[in-house]
A and B are shown apart, each in its own frame.
Chain A
Amino acid sequence: MIPIDNSMLSTGLAFLRYADEILVFCDSEKASRQALASIASILDKQQRLTLQRHKTRFFKPAEFRRFCRQMIEDRPISRDEDELLKLIRRYSGGNPYRTVSYNEISPEDWKKITEKIVRGIIREYIDKAEVDYIRLRWFYRRLSQIGHPGAIDVSLEELEKLGPCFANICSYLASVQAIAADRWKGIGSRLLGLLESDEVKSNEFFRLSILSLFSRNAYINHFSVLASRFQASDPYARREIFLAAKKNNGVDWLREHKENFYSMDPWQRMAFIFCCADLPADEKKYFINRWTFDRPFDIVLAKWARST
């Protein structure tokens, strides 16, 4: 975007830019229309880019300032969300990447967040005629920081409406802390049920996201069901099933797939070598040493698997 920025500056446009969004401050309505024509021309001549017709707008200053405030403010959908976000911010110090462990949160604060409250917030989002998925994804990301289990049931029940948040829901489920092992088992059953739904069957990314949860949490288990799905699964799903085997002590099942190593795609091979770390020392050394690895990643992975 450097040439485009420079050209807009040379043209005398008073602009600000954030990624693909451009704002131009003009002295008159006529000047703003000329600015639009200039930008359209610069984008075309520089890189054959175009503007999104439905997003282009001319604002009067007062209206624009209202628009700015909407973009900046947290815009929680309810008072419950507002309070929950404040609580998360207090523990994370406002760092959106920080994971807050269960032990860090005081029992009083943890009790304040109930399943009813979290369910209510999510329901309020998805009951709107036009669901604000950007905002809802953001809410799931915040909830993942503290891993509160309050959104588990409503997310699994309403998954049909929550497709655009699918990846965030899976990240959220991977983050959940402080629930009993038998509840995880129940969640695992429901996730397996989801694999049979039309939405998930038709989308490779959904299947990958669901299956990845079985390789990250031993309590979800159900490995025998996953193993039975292996032959009919696509390559990405097979990779996740290998990883789930490692998580669930499925080393004997993994052994049976050694002979297929030569026909696996690179992502399955990577997972399989990773899983080989759990084979008995002599067996894994003999198996891994039969293969030649020439990429640094694969060389180091093989060394790690042999020595772990």
Chain B
Amino acid sequence: MTLNGTSLNWAIDFVANHSDGDLFPKILEIEAIQALRSDFVKLIEGKDLSGFAVGAYRRFIVPKDEISYRQATQLHPQDSFLLSAVIHQFGHGIESRRLPADHVFSYRFAPSSQYGLYGSQTAWNDFWSTAHARSIQCSTVLYCDIADFYNQSYHHTVENQLIASEFPNQARKWVINLLESTTAGVSRGIPIGSDLMALIL
């Protein structure tokens, strides 16, 4: 299994424009990869993914409100490129197994240069508008929220889902290796910092 040039080129633009959101300062060195993108793509395209060891990440404690904090992880830019390309190339395998978008509204995979990995910019409002309409025909609505979702997710569960979504072995192993490297070997927890990981949860 190897990454293709289309996904790698898409990943370079995606990381440059969207990847780390507005939490982390933009990595200025990405300018160099954009300038010599064909060199970068040539070094990765068609190569064994297992040959690209995971790089050093940065982890910070960031205030959420006045009395709580959350951890935020910034991947090494090479890993951001590779992960973005992996998701771009194989994400449809996950998306095709999900319930329809009128059941599950968040992070629907539809990569584009303008908006990044996910399609709808109105998903949050669509979720609440649909809920508003649905509530007319019921007598009680239960609202609940999963506790500490990202930090509590097991790598093993993620791996099983990547297998079921027909991720090639090397891509699956590379993603799991990336997760394990950012949790110091602990088998749960997904790095928080960008939306890249949202699809695999």
Contact = CB atoms under 8 A, between A and B. Distances in A.
Nearest to B40: A300
Contacts of B184: none
A35 B142 contact: yes
Contacts of B123: 18
A36 B142 contact: yes
A20 B25 contact: no
Interface residues of B, number: 78
A261 to B, nearest CB: 15
A25 B134 contact: yes
Contacts of A243: 28
B65 A61 contact: no
Chain A: number of interface residues, binned into ranges: 35 or more
B106 interface: yes
A77 interface: no
Interface in B144-191: 144-147, 149, 152-154, 157, 161, 164
Interface centre among B25, B81, B104, by most A CB within 10 Å?
B25
Contacts of B55: 266, 295, 297
B140 A301 contact: no
B103 A15 contact: yes
A236 interface: yes
B23 to A, nearest CB: 5
Nearest to A13: B142
A171 B103 CA distance: 35
Interface string A225-261: 0000000000010001001000000000000000000
A25 B133 CA distance: 11
A299 B139 contact: no
Contacts of B62: 166-167, 205
Nearest to A210: B25
Interface in A17-41: 17-29, 31-32, 35-36, 39
A281 interface: no
A70 B36 CA distance: 47
B169 to A, nearest CB: 20
Interface of B: 17-18, 22-26, 28-29, 32-33, 35-36, 39-40, 43-44, 52-53, 55-56, 58, 60-66, 72, 76-78, 81, 94, 97-99, 103-107, 114-115, 121, 123-125, 127-132, 134-147, 149, 152-154, 157, 161, 164, 198, 201
| 8 pairs of A and B residues whose beta carbons are closest in the complex | A212-B25, A304-B32, A297-B78, A296-B43, A205-B60, A68-B132, A20-B146, A20-B149
Interface of A: 1-3, 5-6, 9, 14-29, 31-32, 35-36, 39, 43, 46-52, 55-61, 64-65, 67-69, 71-72, 94-97, 131, 133, 141, 144, 163-164, 166-168, 170-171, 174, 203-205, 208-209, 212, 215-216, 236, 240, 243, 265-267, 270-271, 273-274, 295-297, 299-301, 303-305, 308
28 contacts: A14-B138, A17-B103, A17-B104, A18-B123, A21-B144, A22-B143, A25-B137, A29-B139, A36-B144, A43-B146, A47-B157, A49-B153, A50-B146, A56-B143, A57-B142, A59-B141, A60-B140, A61-B139, A94-B121, A133-B65, A166-B62, A209-B25, A266-B56, A267-B76, A297-B78, A300-B39, A304-B32, A305-B32
